[in-house]
Every structure is written in C-alpha cells, then in structure tokens.
Copies of this chain bind each other. A is one copy, B any other.
Amino acid sequence: MDNFQTVLRFFMNQKATIGYSFMALLTIGGERVFSMVSFQCPCNHDQNFAYGLTFLLGPAGVLLILGLFFSTRLWRLYTGCCLNPMKLCPRGNCFGSLRVFMNIFSGACVAPVMWLCVALLNGTFYECAVSGLDDNLVVDLFCKNKTLKCREELARVPCDRSKLTADERMELLLMFRAQSQILGWCIIIISAFVGLLGTCYTNCRSKVSYLQLTFWKRYVEKEKECFDTFAADYANKLAERNLQSFFENNDPVPFPFPNHRAWEEIS
C-alpha cells in the first residue's frame, strides 16, 4: 500500500508533464486525422494559399481561444472589471495585471504553437499554401533551373495531376517539405528558448526563495482542493436550510456566512 502511495505521489508530481504529453499526442493525432480525412488541396492558383493557411492557422486560433476560455486565473482577475476599473490598476500601476495577462496568454499559447509545429513538421498544409503563391520573386526561386512549364503548373504540384515529369514534381515536393520542416524546427527552438527566458525572468524577480515557492505552490493547490470540498458542504447546508424554511413556511434560521467584502478580498 505504501509503494502504491509512492507511485501515486510520483505521478501527481509529474502531472504537468503528463498533461503536456497527452496534449502533444492529441495534437499529433488531430493533425493526422485532419490531413487524412478532411484536407484535400484544391490545386488551384487562387485558392491554394488561402486553403493551406486556413488549415495551418484556423485550428491554432481555435486552440488559442479555448485556452483562454479554460483559464481560471483570467476570469478571476477579470470579473467585475467593468464596474470597477480601478481593480485592474490598484494604486495607479497597471503593471501587475499586465504581467498576469502576459502570463495567462503565454499559457494559452502552448497548444496553438504545438499544433503549428506538428503541422509544419508534417508539411502537407505548408505544401499546399506555398504552391499557390503568386509572387514573381518566390516563383522564380522555386523554378530556378527548371523548365518553363514549372511556373504554370506550380499550383498543381501537391495533387497528382500536374503535367510535370515525376522527377521534377518530386523535387519540388521535397523542397516544400524541407522548407516546412526547417520552419517547424525554428518555431520549436524559438518557443523553447522564449519559455526558458520567461521562466528565468519570473524566477529572477520573485522575492521568495525557490523552496518557499514550491511550498506556496503546494499550498495553493491544497487550498483549491479544500475550497471545493468546503464550498460543496456549505452549499448543501444552505440549500437544505432554505428549502426547509420555504416548504414549512417559516423564517430561515440564521446561518454564519462570509459577507460580500470577504469574497472580494480572497479573489
């Protein structure tokens, strides 16, 4: 039983890692499903770019918005701000809430960046998008050392219907894929570096030492858990009392309850 507890505690400590791994697997699976089932490059001069870009950026945008949606901290900070704008800038400096916003935003960016990386490493969407580019400069770059047909048939390269020779087509496809993957790795490294710098900065500015910080993190977690239990308990008691008084048609018994100001303070 003790061993089981140890294993459980180990997994609880690695919660964040497990969560991110799960998210990565989900993203990869989703990308596979999309590029298999739904994605089919139109191979059309006017639409390729818009279509490819939609599949690259659309899901990323949706993931970003979902990330903001499920952020408890955003709503905790945000509630009642219209009625009391002073809350965002207590004592004249808006810097604190700006930093919290940055923090929330960067947290919500994890999933979209993951999607972008997975999609770019696979390369299907980028292929379609870039083959529809109409800019002369780009087309010249792609069709260097190729026959004249290349310029006309560029948009048909992702599909199997171009009039180019199989060799030329293969070459173009491999080039697109290589560009896509290089771009994907660049995004991965840049975002990892930015994440490291950000963590450095926040840790650097914190007034408390590292061990104290870990203690407070654990405290906050525990408090959230306990808050849930306590809230459920109190809500249950309150509901029973109110309904009893309603059905029996008499005055409710007094009930100890935190006032409005106390709620404001703990938020």
Contact = CB atoms under 8 A, between A and B. Distances in A.
Contacts of A42: 171, 174-175, 177-178
A178 B230 contact: no
A: interface residue count bin: 35 or more
When all copies of this chain in the complex are counted, the total is: 3
Contacts of A259: 249
A78 interface: yes
B208 A79 contact: yes
A213 B182 contact: no
Given A82-B204, A177-B40, A66 B227 contact: no
B193 A65 contact: yes
Question: Chain A's interface: helix, strand, loop or mixed, by majority?
Answer: helix
A24 interface: no
Interface string A190-223: 0011011001100111111111111100110111
Contacts of A234: 215, 247
A109 interface: no
A170 B161 contact: yes
A236 B122 CA distance: 46
A83 to B, nearest CB: 6
Contacts of A212: 260, 263, 267
Nearest to A159: B174
B161 A65 contact: no
A141 to B, nearest CB: 9
Contact of A205 (B83, B214, B222): B83
A97 interface: no
Interface string A95-125: 0000000000000000000000000011000
Given A185-B58, A248-B256, A196 B69 contact: yes
Contacts of A203: 75, 78-80
Q: Which 8 A-B pairs have the closest CB atoms?
A: A209-B267, A42-B178, A58-B185, A219-B235, A223-B239, A82-B204, A76-B210, A212-B263
